[in-house]
């Protein structure tokens, strides 16, 4: 059963919000966008490259760790 | 470094700033100090000059707010986003906003150091965007550095001078010390300060940085030492792990720090004597702990000492010459550690792979062998 308590954001939500806020991800990940490289995966690669992480386009623990670090609110890719 | 673009810069070198309100975290005088010091970081290397106004609209309006504070970029509560600022332009351009759900401090490493956060945001106020250089002030992720010894890193100096040029008064003012550059793990001439294991990972220290590498991570991560251990030392001489005590010891000069995870243990730094070394030892070049024999080996100049951790005494018959224990090692030992039963001795840009027990030299490798270049 879904928890009645407020739950922490899932890693996916953290990542999506991060990419929207700092790397101008505008598209929400939807089943249709799963054909080919999704915008989210492409922009995630951009973020991984910026932070000198291994560029996989996949949300891994190293990438998530960077996303959770305290930081400046100015985006890397301006809208 | 990167900029918002050549035309997104101030067209005058004389800028005004105004501190609109204050955070309750710090005395107002400390806020004033932190802000002025942060602006001077940029003034010292450019023609830019800042003057404070107390009313009306300044080029750089500085304020503290939380959540939605009226600029369509709401803050997010504690941690996460700490502050933001706007590129040079009329109106909101240049303004810097600080998230008052954070705890800001001035001199300590507790909370977020307002001077460091402000200096970063004022880089944006002046036209710099984020840098990919993890040692740069304009790197987007916060990391603590000692504000009393802070020098604007070379990457940031290059960035701001690409917009405004250098400080014309430098001939009058004491020349600015050269900003630190960020060491490159894949530099073939890289000479490491120290290497140690830490709970199954490998830590390679250089200047104020370390690289963290593990067999699981696909890439060595580079961090500022002080982003992990704010009260730890930069530019260390040696490091080793005592697995039985679950501690890592960092040695710098005649002092030793004990790390337990992210914590620098109370009562440290202590003197080298606490490691069993005699008073005559002034500097340790490298150290490692041999799992098999339970000895900790300290390299001092051309010699090495052997300390028996279980009996807590220095072994008799030491110091011995390094090339006696490690045949073929004639250069200065700069770092040492053990990994999967092999003992790695670093000398300059080379790493020598030994069996500590048989004294056999297997291979000579590059320093970056474990750094996954």
Tell me what percent of the residues of chain A surpass a pLDDT of 90: 46
Distance of CA B16 to the CA centre of its chain: 32
For position A2, what pLDDT does the model report? 44
Are residues A14 and A8 in contact, defined by beta-carbon separation less than 8 angstroms?
no
For position B180, what pLDDT does the model report? 77
Q: Which residues of A touch B81 (CB under 8 A)?
A: 70-73
Whether ipTM tops 0.95, in short, is no
For position B6, what pLDDT does the model report? 67
Intervals of chain B under pLDDT 50: none
With an 8 Å Cβ cutoff, the interface of chain A facing chain B consists of 22, 50-54, 62, 66, 69-74, 76, 78
B168-185 b/e with 16+ CB inside 10 Å = b? eeeeeeeeeeebbebbeb
Q: Is B121 a catalytic residue?
A: yes
A51 contacts B85? CB cut-off 8 A: no
Candidates A9, A64, A69, A72, partner chain B, best to mutate (most B CBs within 10 A) = A72
> In 3D, which of B26, B215, B5 has the Cα closest to residue B110?
B26
Phi, psi of B249 (to 5 degrees): -105, 130
For position A6, what pLDDT does the model report? 45
Q: Which residues of A touch B218 (CB under 8 A)?
A: 54, 62
For position A29, what pLDDT does the model report? 58
Q: What is the pLDDT of residues A37-68, one digit of tens each?
A: 688 899 999 999 999 888 889 998 889 989 99
């Amino acid at each position: 059963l879904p928890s009645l308590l407020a739950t922490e954001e899932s890693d996916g939500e953290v990542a999506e919000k991060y990419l929207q806020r700092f790397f101008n991800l505008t598209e929400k990940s939807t089943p249709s966008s799963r054909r080919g490289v999704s915008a989210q995966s492409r922009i995630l690669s951009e973020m991984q490259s910026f932070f000198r992480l291994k560029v996989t386009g996949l949300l891994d623990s190293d990438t998530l760790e960077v996303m959770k670090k305290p930081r400046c609110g100015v985006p890397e890719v301006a809208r | 470094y990167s900029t918002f673009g050549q035309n997104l810069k101030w067209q005058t070198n004389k800028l005004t700033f105004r501190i609109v309100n204050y955070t309750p975290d710090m005395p107002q005088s400390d806020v004033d100090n932190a802000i002025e010091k942060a602006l001077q970081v940029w003034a010292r290397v450019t023609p830019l000059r800042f003057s404070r106004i107390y009313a009306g609209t300044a080029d750089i309006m500085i304020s503290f707010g939380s959540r939605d504070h009226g600029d369509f970029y709401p803050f997010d509560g504690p941690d996460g986003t700490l502050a933001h600022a706007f590129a040079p332009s009329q109106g909101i351009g240049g303004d810097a906003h600080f998230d008052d759900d954070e705890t800001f401090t001035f001199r300590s490493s507790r909370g977020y150091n307002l001077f460091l956060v402000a200096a970063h945001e004022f880089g944006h106020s002046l036209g710099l965007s984020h840098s990919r250089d993890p040692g740069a002030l304009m790197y987007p992720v916060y990391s603590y550095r000692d504000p009393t010894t802070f020098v604007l890193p070379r990457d940031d100096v290059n960035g701001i001078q690409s917009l405004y040029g250098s400080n014309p008064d430098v001939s009058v003012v004491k020349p600015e010390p050269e900003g630190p550059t960020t060491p490159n793990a894949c530099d073939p001439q890289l000479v490491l300060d120290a290497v140690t294991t830490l709970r199954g990972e490998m830590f390679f220290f250089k200047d104020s940085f370390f690289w963290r590498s593990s067999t699981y991570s696909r890439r060595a991560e580079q961090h500022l030492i002080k982003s992990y251990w704010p009260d730890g030392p930069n530019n260390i001489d040696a490091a080793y792990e005592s697995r039985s005590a679950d501690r890592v010891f960092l040695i710098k000069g005649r002092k030793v720090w004990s790390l337990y995870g992210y914590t620098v243990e109370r009562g440290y730094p202590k003197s080298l004597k606490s490691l069993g070394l005699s008073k005559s030892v002034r500097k340790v070049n490298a150290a490692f702990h041999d799992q098999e024999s339970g000895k900790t080996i300290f390299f001092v100049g051309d010699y090495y000492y052997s300390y028996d951790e279980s009996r807590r005494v220095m072994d008799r018959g030491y110091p011995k010459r390094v090339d006696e224990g490690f045949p073929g090692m004639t250069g200065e030992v700069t770092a040492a550690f053990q990994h999967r039963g092999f003992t790695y001795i670093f000398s300059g840009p080379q790493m020598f792979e030994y069996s500590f027990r048989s004294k056999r030299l297997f291979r000579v490798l590059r320093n970056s062998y474990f750094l996954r270049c």
